[in-house]
Structure 1
Amino acid sequence: MTEVDGGNFFDTVDCTGFTLNTFVDTNGNDIRDEDEALFPYGDLNYSVNSGNEVALNNDSGSYYIFDENENNSYDFEYILDDTFIDYFSLETPSIQNQFITQGEITNFDIPIDIITPLTNVSIHITPVNSPNPGFDTEQLITLKNLGTSQIDNGTITYTFDPLTTFVSSTDPSTTQLDNTLTIPFTDLAPFETRYINIVLNTNAPPEVNIDNVLTFSASISAGDINDIYLDDNTSEIDVVVIGSFDPNDKLESHGGTIAYESFTTDDFLFYTIRFQNTGTASAQNVEIKDFLTDEHDASSIVMISASHNYQLKIDDQDLEWDFRNINLPDSTNDEPNSHGFVSFKIKSTAGYNINTVFENTAEIYFDFNLPIITNTVVTSLASGLSIEELENAIVRFHPNPTNGIVNITSKSVLKHIEVTNILGQILLSQSLNTLETKIDLQSFVAGNYFISLQTDNGSIIKRVIKN
């Protein structure tokens, strides 16, 4: 029998349980109409027989639970992500005391109402594989419209490490200038996600050697759209160069070290777990288990992207990704399609200090085989960074280079901003009292400009390139 999970098909012999769909009820009739989008930005919490609550999360907004025990009673509650609680509401967030019906899938549609329209776009880079001197490496750019309105047009600016060479992009509109790619997009629908694969070739030794760190960044601009959350308009990753490697591994995007002076409990750690079927037959099911340490705040986890359809189960500090009926080919018969990954971000718990170390390891299960244990990825809070490194951690300018709009986010209150050209002429001067602002350079000629910022913790000068 084939069931449908938010538009994703999964085959199963177990047809007893529940499916629950969260959707945006645009016309307010409490019925999921054909043109109403699923809403994936929250957790479906459930408990069995009034036991401990477990959370389900995925990127479709459709959740499934299989159980054949007719004596089990289920309670469900949908919890919106913190980013969206001021913009959406649920008239009936909970469903209580539901029992299994043997041989049937019981379906519930949960309507979500729009309180206030919002605009929120995000971008993230996921390293599909690690750079290896002389070989190609692949990265995935994930573009999301997390808002309620269509984004008519915008631009992705992707900057790759100068020790790599651009090979290809799956987006045919990609253009290149030096080590910067510009990728325009149009008509990004509400809650739509798009993916762009970038292939780069890593320079051979002696230019690039094992354990070198390469840096890649991406930013998104979409004109004056009043984005409610600018922090996810840019993404930067540091990737360690490897030699021979285990294809089942785990990475964290800061490259091992975070500036303690700039780190807060509002900042995220960005993890990627990668897996490959190196067996001799396709894997029907893949499961990833990740046991978070006390330094991680499990309630803050946000999924970024995944290679295949999944459902994430969150039980206290234990994470479990279920790739049901993934049918992942083996590397001998189909190497390019034998890979997969999950990418997520998570905050730290309070009480960290300069000696805090974030450690994380995952277990990967292919069908009924023993688990493959990944490396333990270690990220440390450290001081003693250079002035430039600290400035970049405290104030972020994106995109840079820019076609016009530069977004500025700061951990210190911005008091004054000034833009000058290379001759020192003042082109813009403005008083501020905010943590976020943007400047418009669209009318400026192409070239180099200097942005001087006065914050309540000192002054910073940043060079910005106008294309």
Structure 2
Amino acid sequence: MNLKKYLLTCCALFICLLNVASLKAQSIYFSPPLLFNSQYPCGISNEVRAEQITEDQLGILWMIGKDSVNRSLYSYNGAVWTSYPIPFDFWDYRELEIDASGNKWIGTKKHGLIKFDGSSFELYNAANSALQCDDIKALKTDLLGNIWVLQICSFNMYLTKINNGTWETFNQVQTGFEFCNEFRFTPDNLGNVYFKTHKSTCTQNNFIVKFDGANYDTISGYDNHIFEMTCDSQGNLYALFRFDPNDGSAIKQIGVYDGNQWTYYKQPEGLSSGTYLRAMTTNDIIYKKGKLWMYNNQRKDFHSFSFSDSVFTFYETNIVYNAKSIDFTVADDNKIWFIYKTTGEVLSGDYVFPRTVSGTVFLDANENGILDNNESGIEDVIVTLNPEGVYATTNDQGFFEFGLNDTTLTHEVVVNLPPYSYFTNSTGTYEVVPSSQSITNLEFGFNYDSTITDVGVSLSSTPPVPGFNRTIYATATNYGYLTISDTLTVTADSFYQNITDVNPAPLSVSGNTVKWLYSFAQNASITFSFDATVDLAAPLGTFTHSTAIIEPVADDTVPQNNFDTLEQEIVSSYDPNEKTAESSGPLLAGDAITYTIQFQNTGNYPASFVIIRDTLDANLDPASIQILGHSHPMSWSLSGVGYLEFNFENINLPDSSTDEAGSHGFIQFSIRTKAGLPVGSIITNEAFIYFDYNPEVATNVTTNKIENVTFITTPPSS
């Protein structure tokens, strides 16, 4: 299952064997995409670079920003932005917090602490206050009126509490918070402060430290990989853990500490590890209206967990850049406000939709136009919502869902059928008329043309390097309805030697030719492979030509795809994480491009999962995607305006230092350029590869161009 394949599923209840904690059951819900829009037209000049954003108790947004002239604090009441110029000539703001009295506090990196009371600004630093230096590492407030300031000064940690003009400073001996710690802490609303420790050099290694204003203690009963913490108004502590504290498995979950014991909310079993909590690297977590909100800066999406009904909700977004440096807040107007600090861009998106439209695409075997009990939904069917031009793929139940941000416009839902199929109860298009009501029961039935025979084959391999072992993959696909049994034959180029590790077992191996028997049902595919060594004497720059043929050819509807040739240049080195783009000839508007994304685990430990994210060029037609081959089992999804994702769950990809040949993988797909593109149109593409929790690896950028081809017909001679 995958993030873009929206479904609701429940998990079994896990009983914790430890008496210090309990583990709650929970469900998972995949929201329609959360689409962010730039908020510069709302009153902020596009010259303003935003830095921090938060919301006060009255629902007013507050933001720090600057333009070419001024540094200002901005407020937004839902209609108008108001600026308050900051009268200090520096720009090193790090934190923005609002205290219980409505005062705004700004922490800086080198100039101390700024207070804004609604009419004037005041600067506090080491020269005029109890601050130990001018470096503000972190800043928090609570509902008791306390402002908590964390500092590092001359390799010592200090915590300062400000309340109604009274300043009190505590050192690391008093608080238990050491210089080696990460600068993450959170106050509750009972006068306590919780510190997150992490690094192995700390005396209090991998603990949560609680400081009550006089003494500190460590809290037991939790795992030793704590990512983020926050508190609610009742004093409950919320923490995001990397590992299950009961069995040590690498899976993220939420823990709630009520002052006596922990309650854990584990992510649902059986779902993609790379999809959500397990791959999360949050900047912050926010507790708001009974929900814990998180941002995943690896996947660039939002997550929430509702404690009233134990439901995880995942919000895919249209954020396309690598947003590691961000700030966000969850506002009372059902919006998430988001700042991308690298550019200072301000975005907002509705996380509550006025209405949704959803339905099921199913195989209507008896063609009665009704989803009967013995009929099933079909996975990976592409559905389009117009005029937005956004996409979704059906989940394993055939379900899809779109969120609509309006109640007054007309929309169109279009189902893109698999090859050689036809609708049994509609034209595949549904008009969504203006209304305030959601539509939840659309049914699109289809069946296959049972007269069609169409099998195809696609070859792939990493670039050949003299003396190195390579795996040649042949993916055979049955595009038709009938079950087919026949042979697949692959012949490796003469520069390949020593055919080994043939999988599955072949019918025969003769020289460089491998033959298999195959049998598969409709819309199924099988990946065949073998290893071979590139001749050490193979000249660099020479091109290899390996071929494949899948039978039957004579009765095949499209015999052209029964053949494939893999042409590769012999090289001395190459980028193991690369992308190639090929067309069958001069690229014309409407023609297909075949993309192959190669990846390799060059780390020092096996990768448990690999995720590939690809934002498609606007000149490509997302509805035309066809999966051609892949090295390992995977799931895929399409969403938004063209966000393509491949998820290799439980791949356990070996690292290159222990198994070079086994450390590689690939995905291959084709997609058509849009019809009507003018000559000279450029199509670029780039993918990002994620190995477990590591930062993404960017592939090269491929470039294709729509050509001007003139066909000359020679008349027959008289």
Measured against the shorter chain, the TM-score band is 0.5 to 0.7
**Alpha-carbon separation, structure 2, partners of 1:100 and 1:287:** 33
Q: Is 1:364 the equivalent of 2:689?
A: yes
Residue 390 of structure 2: which of 54, 63, 66 is its match?
A: 54
Per-residue deviation, 1:190: 1.9
**Alpha-carbon separation, structure 2, partners of 1:54 and 1:372:** 26
Change (3 A) 1:315 1:234: farther
Letter of the structure 1 residue corresponding to residue 635 of structure 2: Y
**Alpha-carbon separation, structure 2, partners of 1:139 and 1:297:** 29
Change (3 A) 1:356 1:218: farther
Name the SS for the 2:560 alignment partner: helix
**Alpha-carbon separation, structure 2, partners of 1:191 and 1:176:** 28
Letter of the structure 1 residue corresponding to residue 567 of structure 2: D
**Alpha-carbon separation, structure 2, partners of 1:98 and 1:224:** 55
Letter of the structure 2 residue corresponding to residue 192 of structure 1: A
Maintained 8 Å contact 2:503/2:528: yes
Q: 1:23 maps to which residue?
A: 362
Per-residue deviation, 1:181: 2.6
**Alpha-carbon separation, structure 1, partners of 2:372 and 2:535:** 52
Q: 1:229 maps to which residue?
A: 558
Per-residue deviation, 1:309: 2.4
Mark the structure with the bigger radius of gyration: 2
Maintained 8 Å contact 1:126/1:141: yes
Maintained 8 Å contact 1:154/1:223: no
1:174-215 deviation per Cα after TM superposition (whole angstroms, max 9, x unaligned):
3234433332324x222221111121211112x343x33211
Per-residue deviation, 1:330: 6.3
Residue 124 of structure 1: which of 455, 458, 465 is its match?
A: 458
Letter of the structure 1 residue corresponding to residue 546 of structure 2: F
Change (3 A) 1:285 1:273: closer
Q: Is 1:203 the equivalent of 2:535?
A: yes
**Alpha-carbon separation, structure 1, partners of 2:691 and 2:388:** 28
Change (3 A) 1:22 1:381: closer
Q: Is 1:300 the equivalent of 2:624?
A: yes
Q: 1:217 maps to which residue?
A: 547
Letter of the structure 1 residue corresponding to residue 504 of structure 2: D
1:234-280 deviation per Cα after TM superposition (whole angstroms, max 9, x unaligned):
112212223343321112357xxx754xx655653321112234446
Maintained 8 Å contact 1:175/1:183: yes
Q: Is 1:309 the equivalent of 2:634?
A: yes
Q: 2:384 maps to which residue?
A: 45
Maintained 8 Å contact 1:286/1:326: no
Per-residue deviation, 1:343: 0.7
Q: Is 1:144 the equivalent of 2:477?
A: yes
Maintained 8 Å contact 2:579/2:595: yes
Per-residue deviation, 1:334: 7.3
Name the SS for the 1:343 alignment partner: strand
Residue 521 of structure 2: which of 189, 197, 218 is its match?
A: 189
Maintained 8 Å contact 2:588/2:706: no
Aligned ranges for residues 34-433 of structure 1 at < 5 Å? 38=378, 40=380, 42-46=381-385, 52-57=388-393, 62=398, 76-81=413-418, 83-84=419-420, 87-92=421-426, 93=428, 110-114=444-448, 117-127=451-461, 129-151=462-484, 153-165=485-497, 166-186=499-519, 188-205=520-537, 207-209=538-540, 211-222=541-552, 224-225=554-555, 227-253=556-582, 260=586, 265=589, 267-279=591-603, 282=607, 286-292=611-617, 294=619, 296-306=620-630, 307-313=632-638, 315-316=640-641, 318-323=642-647, 328-329=652-653, 331=655, 335=659, 339-349=664-674, 359-366=684-691, 369-378=694-703
**Alpha-carbon separation, structure 1, partners of 2:621 and 2:29:** 32
Per-residue deviation, 1:123: 1.2
Name the SS for the 1:132 alignment partner: coil
Maintained 8 Å contact 1:357/1:379: yes
**Alpha-carbon separation, structure 2, partners of 1:293 and 1:308:** 28
Letter of the structure 2 residue corresponding to residue 44 of structure 1: V
Letter of the structure 2 residue corresponding to residue 213 of structure 1: F
**Alpha-carbon separation, structure 1, partners of 2:397 and 2:459:** 23
Change (3 A) 1:167 1:342: same
**Alpha-carbon separation, structure 2, partners of 1:200 and 1:330:** 19
**Alpha-carbon separation, structure 1, partners of 2:712 and 2:454:** 23
Name the SS for the 1:231 alignment partner: helix
Maintained 8 Å contact 1:121/1:143: yes
1:152-183 deviation per Cα after TM superposition (whole angstroms, max 9, x unaligned):
x3221222111112334213233234433332
Gaps of at least 5 residues in structure 2 are 1-9, 12-27, 31-269, 278-310, 315-356
Change (3 A) 1:179 1:98: farther
Identical columns (%): 18
Name the SS for the 1:243 alignment partner: coil
Task: Identify, as 1 or 2, the structure richer in strand.
Answer: 1
Per-residue deviation, 1:331: 2.0
Name the SS for the 1:232 alignment partner: helix
Maintained 8 Å contact 2:382/2:415: yes
Per-residue deviation, 1:63: 5.9
Maintained 8 Å contact 1:150/1:189: yes
Name the SS for the 1:44 alignment partner: strand
Name the SS for the 1:161 alignment partner: coil
Maintained 8 Å contact 1:32/1:111: no
1:120-153 deviation per Cα after TM superposition (whole angstroms, max 9, x unaligned):
11111122x22221111112211111112122x3
**Alpha-carbon separation, structure 2, partners of 1:284 and 1:357:** 33
**Alpha-carbon separation, structure 2, partners of 1:34 and 1:181:** 41
Maintained 8 Å contact 1:54/1:313: no
**Alpha-carbon separation, structure 2, partners of 1:182 and 1:456:** 44
Superposition TM-score, scaled by structure 1 size: 0.61
Per-residue deviation, 1:293: 6.5
